[in-house]
Amino acid sequence: MKTWRFREVLIISSLAGMSALMAVIGGVPLTLKFSVFALILVIAGYIDVKTRTIPDSIHVLIVVVALIRLDWMNSMLGLLFVPLPYFIMALLKENSIGGGDIKLMGACGFYLGVRAGYAGSIMGLFIAVISYAVICLITSKKINQSLPLAPFIGAGCIVTYFII
């Protein structure tokens, strides 16, 4: 029953958000493109928190949505270079960053492009660090387990979309 309530809230808030975005962004295709992108990121964050995995279908969906009014060069560079720091960190330190996070950042880089992809990555990691610090302050304990990054990456990419 809980998942049905989550879906209802997600659908209603998505429709309300799309209506508001049409007024702000201006075009129906771009509004739909961003709305679906944001919805996929919310779902990815939810799944990552619950299961600590990000399904491959999430990455594929983001790439498919990015094909609407695509800047091929910027998107391909974003796909190649934006996930590179995550990949290097995963190679340098075992169990630091999962493959799903790397692929999610690659898909977001494809959607946003290089500059906005890096900005979204930095913004998402900044939100994660602040959240971690707040949790540690509230509980007065250090958290010994890793945080799921998808909610923070998603939030960073959504915020960056409006800034850049």
Averaged confidence pLDDT in the chain: 86
pLDDT given at position 139? 81
Contacts of 19 (CB under 8 A, 6+ apart): none
- Of the listed ranges 4-8, 31-35, 81-85, 155-159, the least confidently predicted one is 4-8
Question: Distances in Å between the alpha carbon of 128 and those of 17, 21, 40, 53, 131?
Answer: 24, 26, 19, 17, 5
Residues above pLDDT 90, as percent of the chain: 59
- In this prediction, residues 17-45 reach a mean pLDDT of 78
- In this prediction, residues 46-70 reach a mean pLDDT of 92
- pLDDT of residue 2 exceeding 60, the answer is no
pLDDT given at position 29? 73
Contact 125, 89 (CB under 8 A): no
- Residue owning tokens 């880089």: 109
pLDDT given at position 21? 63
User: pLDDT higher for 147 or 122?
Assistant: 122
| The total number of structural domains that make up the chain | 1
- pLDDT of residue 108 exceeding 70, the answer is yes
pLDDT given at position 1? 44
- In this prediction, residues 11-40 reach a mean pLDDT of 73
pLDDT tens, 124-152? 999 999 988 888 888 877 777 778 999 99
| Count of other CB atoms within 10 angstroms of residue 158 | 18
Residue 95 is which amino acid? Answer: N
| Count of other CB atoms within 10 angstroms of residue 79 | 21
pTM for the structure as a whole: 0.81
| Count of other CB atoms within 10 angstroms of residue 88 | 12
Domain range spanning residue 6?
2-163
- pLDDT of residue 46 exceeding 70, the answer is yes
